A = this chain, B = another copy of it.
C-alpha cells in the first residue's frame, strides 16, 4: 500500500498527541464539508438500489448523461488499467501516486511525465493520465489543450484519463460536460469539495461501453447505501455549492498569503490546498507536527502540502505555529 495524507492515528501515536487535539491539514479535504442530516433508518438496513436517484442527481451536477457511481475514484483508478491490454501510458509526475501504481500492477509500461514533456511524448503513448488540477503541485491545463490531446489519442484508439478530484470549486476547467467521448475518461469524487471523503463516492464519466465493462468488474453494491443517500442530497444542494465555491476561493487565497508571509510562498495550489517546494520541507513538517499540526510531506521534490483551516481558532493556531517554526 502507498502512504497517504490523513494518517492521523499514526501521527497521534508517534508524537504522543491525542487525535482530537490535532489540526489536520494533510488531506486537501474541505474542512467545512456538506452538513449531513439525520438519515432514514432503512439506508443502513436495506441494500442500495441503482434507481435511487443518485445517478440522476449526478447527471445534473456534472452536466453529463453517461456516468457510473463508484466507491470513490480510487475504485476506478484501480479498475481502469484492467480494461486495456498492456500498453504505454504517460502519467503526470509528480502526482497522486495511486495512478502509476495501478497501471504498473496491471502490466502496463508507465512513463512519468512533467507537464512540459507531454506534447512531444504524446504520439508515443496509448494512454495519458492527467490529474487536473494536479495533486500536489496544483498545476492546471487549458481545457482546450486537454481536448486536443484527447483527440490525438482517441484517433488511434487511445485514452485520456483526467482525474478531476480537486476541480469542483473551479469547474469551468472540467472536461465533464464534454463527456461522453470515445477514449475520454473523467474521474470525479465527492471527497474533496463536498468534504465527504468518508462516504467513498465518486463517478466515472465515459462512453457507455467502457462504463459497462467497469460496472461488471466492480460488481453490485460497492457503494454503501447511506453514502449513496448523502451523496444524492449533497449534489442536489446548489445553494451550499455556490456559497462553498466562493468561500473556498477566499480561504485558498488567505492560506497562500499566510504561507508567503512566513517565507513559504506557494509554488502552486488550488482551491483546497497550497504546495510549497523547499529543501526545509522535512524540518518544517516535523516542527509543525510537534505542535499538533499535520501537513503532507513529499520527498521528491522535497515539498509540503497544506490544506485549509476551518475556523478562526484554527487559522490563528496555524499562524502562530508558522511564526515559531519559520522564525
Contact = CB atoms under 8 A, between A and B. Distances in A.
A173 B282 CA distance: 54
- Max count, chain B CB within 10 A of own CB: residue among A8, A38, A49: A49
A304 B222 CA distance: 27
Contacts of A227: 224, 226-227
Interface residues of A, number: 52
Given A74-B221, A220-B74, A198 B46 contact: yes
Contact of A198 (B48, B200, B220): B48
B219 A51 contact: no
Report whether over half of chain A's contact residues are helix, strand or loop; otherwise say mixed.
Answer: loop
A196 interface: yes
State the copy count for this chain: 2
- Max count, chain B CB within 10 A of own CB: residue among A2, A7, A35, A219: A219
Contacts of A47: 4, 6, 27, 29, 191, 197-198
A199 B226 contact: yes
A215 B227 CA distance: 22
A313 interface: no
A45 B222 contact: no
A44 B219 contact: no
Nearest to A2: B220
| The 6 nearest A-B residue pairs measured at CB | A198-B225, A224-B224, A200-B224, A6-B47, A44-B198, A224-B227
